[in-house]
Amino acid sequence: MIPDWVAERSAMVETQLRRRGVRDERVLRAMLEIPREEFLPGAEGDPSRVMAYQDEPVSIGCGQTMSQPYITALMAESLELAGTETVLEVGAGCGYHAAVLGALAARVVTIEIIPTLAKLARENLHRTRRDGNIQVVLGDGSLGHAELAPYDAISVAAGAPEIPATLLEQLNDPGLLVIPVGERWDQELRVVSKRHGRIDYRVATLCRFVPLRGGEGWG
Ligand code: SAH
């Protein structure tokens, strides 16, 4: 039997997000509306896609995962988006997080280093009609994307050994950057702000993301 996706989504928003303290109504609305199950690889209407609503990361192939819903919400909320911003995402994966950011900002560029996943993200965003203000780029996002810099907000979906200097350079002033920083499989989620040339950060939570590859990642 095919699950009731709308019911799955509203249960996720209530129990995993709102009850845990996610307050930004725009983030909650976006995650209530975006069909998360459509971003998993596999056949449309496949009941096993109900995995998309579990309270944990889900495999999307190529050894990568789609983040736990709560982490996606926390990251999106931390960027304080009002709707006018240009946002860079590093690590498109299946494109779900980009879809959430696309609902919150004016424009999103998301970079993915694995060609199969860049294609998956593009297809998913197109099929769900979320691609109007989202561009998927194949490349090494640890070096950002100079063409459209500076970005009002940057969201990094893979764990880095340090905050990549290039990303800080490509961040607008004022601007916010959210990124997991730490060991290869254990990080803290940092919310970094740039204001009047000053860089500060706070730690939002401890977390476990896949490693950031590339020039300013783990290689
Ligand atoms: N944003 C996704 C999560 C993807 S997981 C979501 O919707 O939940 C992290 C992704 O980062 C993986 O797809 C991985 O291939 C990608 N990645 C890792 N290093 C990268 C790099 N240097 N540039 C771009 N993408 C990278």
Q: Is the pLDDT of residue 45 over 90?
A: no
The 3-state secondary structure of the chain, one letter per residue: CCCCHHHHHHHHHHHHHHHHCCCCHHHHHHHHHCCHHHHCCCCCCCHHHHHHHCCCCEEEECCEEECCHHHHHHHHHHCCCCCCCEEEEECCCCCHHHHHHHHHCCEEEEEECCHHHHHHHHHHHHHCCCHHHEEEEECCHHHCCHHHCCEEEEEECCEECCCCHHHHHHEEEEEEEEEEEEECCEEEEEEEEEECCEEEEEEEEEECCCECCCCCCCC
- Average pLDDT of the segment spanning 32-44: 92
Protein residue closest via CA to atom 10 of ligand 1: 91
Query: Residue 128: what are its φ and ψ, rounded to 5°?
Result: -90, 5
How do residues 166-200 score in pLDDT, each as one tens digit? 999 999 999 999 999 999 999 999 999 999 999 99
How do residues 60-114 score in pLDDT, each as one tens digit? 999 999 999 999 999 999 999 999 999 999 999 999 999 999 999 999 999 999 9
**Residue 43: pLDDT band by 50, 70, 90 thresholds?**
confident
- pTM equals 0.98
Protein residue closest via CA to atom 13 of ligand 1: 93
Ligand 1 atom with minimal separation from the 214 CA:
22
Is 142 near ligand 1, meaning CB less than 6 Å away? Answer: yes
Q: Give the CA angle between residues 189, 190, 194 to the nearest 5°.
A: 160
Is 170 near ligand 1, meaning CB less than 6 Å away? Answer: no
Would you name the residues annotated as active-site residues? 67
Q: Is the pLDDT of residue 1 over 90?
A: no
Per-residue pLDDT, 164: 98
Is 94 near ligand 1, meaning CB less than 6 Å away? Answer: yes
Is 113 near ligand 1, meaning CB less than 6 Å away? Answer: yes
Q: How far is the CA of 26 from the centre of ligand 1 (A)?
A: 24
Q: How far is the CA of 140 from the centre of ligand 1 (A)?
A: 10
